[in-house]
A = this chain, B = another copy of it.
């Protein structure tokens, strides 16, 4: 008898609601809020409840299938791209832009050494005006 691998994933059943929430976050590049995911998913599942969206977003984030992101003065948002990258947040239009770079392993190791700590993750967020808003200003 082969013992099952311990299942550390918290979600055990693949419900329509759960896969629709995951699909919505993965499909858009907007880093949507729970409310926005709710509106997206409603097109497919008109009866889904907001609490279900919140619950599944949190669950999917814990499993590492999506990523939680938060910016100053804004609500929690979700990111379908889980690989390491950085963000630029426009203070005017609140758009989030992906930055295709990441801190060097050396820089992270420097922090670990100076803090005598283990670094599990980091966030690097830039704030300012995006090119569109800069023109308007």
Residues of A within 8 A of B (CB): 68, 70, 72, 86, 88, 90-91, 97, 99, 101, 103, 108, 110-112, 114-131, 134
Contacts and interface: CB of A to CB of B under 8 A. Distances in A.
Contacts of A126: 108, 111, 115, 119, 121-122
Nearest to A124: B124
Contacts of A68: 72
A117 B130 contact: yes
A134 B116 CA distance: 9
Nearest to A107: B101
Contact of A129 (B88, B117, B123): B117
A30 B116 CA distance: 19
A73 to B, nearest CB: 9
A111 B99 contact: yes
Contacts of A125: 122-123
B114 A99 contact: yes
B128 A120 contact: yes
Contact of A111 (B88, B90, B123, B131): B88
